[in-house]
């Protein structure tokens, strides 16, 4: 039996949380990640399910997530510490057959449990799996310029998307479907989870105004790359705000979409 601590999953999450902390996005206990791991990979480390303890979810997980395994960052844990002690800061859980309980297989060794944003994560997983069965990662973080940009704009998907696309030629190619925007809401609740999941039916990125961003993907790299591109673009937007002479013309955005064969969100650029 292989040691889960040595698995590529724990290594990837440890490395990316360290990277995100170094970006300055995850102050204190900010940010959380959940990674859906297929049972065939779990079995390489755990030939059968032996649970350390059960943790109440506090809501009912979607039917599609029952008996699924997730590697999840812990509540109150600091991203900067994951790489030093993954077994305290991360946990591998299996959602039970009723969708009410998470069975702990590994981790949270100091008695911890999943991030308080786990409802938003699980609801986002369920929403994205309906769009793309290969989706595996939900990532939440607090990138500074993205939060600044959200504070400066109306809470509107089209306006936020357009400002990003007009600021950096990468943007339309990386997220042609655009970005969803939620108004300022109370985090850690089922309500914000449901609102995020609703946006996830259309987008891989959802901005939480005055708080941060959610990104999803088939891999850690995809989720991180989406957020990284938004944050870089938001930085360009915020630094040049009020001084822009050369905004990206609509025809260049349309030309990029044509060149890279991506279908862009309708109604953002005049076609
Ligand atoms: Zn947050």
What are the structural domain ranges in the chain?
1-116, 118-271
**Alpha carbon distance 75, 213 (integer Å):** 18
Catalytic annotation, pick one of 6, 15, 63, 117: 117
SS3 per residue for 132-176: CCCCCEEEEECCHHHHHHHHHCCCCHHHHHHHHHCCCHHHHHHCC
Ligand 1 centroid–CA 26 distance in Å is 8
The angle formed by the CA atoms of residues 207, 230 and 227, to the nearest 5 degrees, is: 75
- Cα–ligand 1 centroid distance for 96 (angstroms): 26
pTM score, whole prediction: 0.96
Distance (Å, whole) CA 226 – CA 72: 20
Please give the pLDDT value at position 107: 98
Give 120 Cα–ligand 1 centroid separation in angstroms. 11
Say which CATH superfamily domain 118-271 falls into: Class II aldolase/adducin N-terminal domain (3.40.225.10)
Show pLDDT as tens, one digit a residue, over the chain (271 residues). 799 999 999 999 999 999 999 999 999 999 999 999 999 999 999 999 999 999 999 999 999 999 999 999 999 999 999 999 999 999 999 999 999 999 999 999 999 999 999 999 999 999 999 999 999 999 999 999 999 999 999 999 999 999 999 999 999 999 999 999 999 999 988 899 999 999 999 999 999 999 999 999 999 999 999 999 999 999 999 999 989 999 999 999 999 999 999 999 999 998 7
What count of residues does the chain have?
271
User: Residue 1: its pLDDT value, please?
Assistant: 73
Question: Would you tell me how many other CB atoms lie within 10 Å of the CB of residue 128?
Answer: 24
Chain-centroid distance of CA 258 in Å reads 28
pLDDT score recorded for residue 188: 86
Listed in sequence order, the residues at least 6 apart from 138 whose beta carbon sits closer than 8 Å to its beta carbon are: 33, 34, 121, 124, 125, 128, 214, 215, 216, 223
Q: How far is the CA of 46 from the centre of ligand 1 (A)?
A: 31
d(CA 204, CA 171): 13
Instruction: Give the CATH number of domain 1-116; options: 3.40.225.10, 3.30.413.10, 3.30.230.70, 3.40.50.10860.
Output: 3.40.225.10
Centroid of ligand 1 to alpha carbon of 255 (angstroms):
36
Retrieve residue 199's tokens: 């946006």
| Token pair recorded at residue 49 | 């399910």
pLDDT at 264: 97
* Residue 117 known to be catalytic: yes
């Amino acid at each position: 039996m292989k040691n889960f601590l040595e698995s590529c999953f724990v290594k990837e999450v440890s490395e990316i949380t360290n990277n995100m902390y170094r970006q300055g996005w995850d102050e204190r206990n900010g940010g959380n990640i959940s990674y859906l791991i297929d049972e065939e990979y779990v079995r390489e480390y755990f030939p059968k399910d032996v649970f350390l303890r059960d943790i109440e979810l506090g809501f009912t997980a979607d039917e599609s997530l029952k008996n699924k395994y997730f590697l999840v960052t812990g509540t109150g844990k600091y991203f900067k510490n994951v790489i030093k002690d993954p077994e305290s800061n991360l946990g591998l859980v299996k959602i039970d057959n009723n969708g009410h309980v998470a069975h702990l297989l590994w981790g949270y060794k100091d008695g911890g449990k999943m991030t308080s944003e786990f409802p938003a994560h699980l609801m986002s997983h369920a929403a994205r799996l309906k769009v793309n069965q290969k989706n595996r990662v939900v990532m939440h973080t607090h990138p500074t310029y993205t939060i600044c940009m959200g504070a400066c704009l109306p809470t509107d998907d089209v306006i936020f998307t357009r400002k990003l696309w007009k600021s950096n030629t990468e943007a339309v190619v990386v997220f042609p479907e655009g970005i969803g925007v939620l108004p300022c809401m109370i985090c850690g609740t089922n309500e914000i989870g449901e609102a995020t999941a609703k946006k996830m039916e259309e987008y891989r990125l959802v901005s939480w105004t005055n708080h941060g961003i959610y990104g999803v993907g088939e891999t850690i790299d995809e989720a991180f790359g989406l957020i990284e591109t938004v944050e870089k673009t938001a930085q360009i937007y915020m630094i040049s705000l009020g001084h822009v002479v050369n905004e990206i013309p609509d025809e260049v955005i349309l030309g990029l979409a044509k060149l890279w064969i991506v279908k862009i969100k309708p109604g953002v650029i005049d076609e």
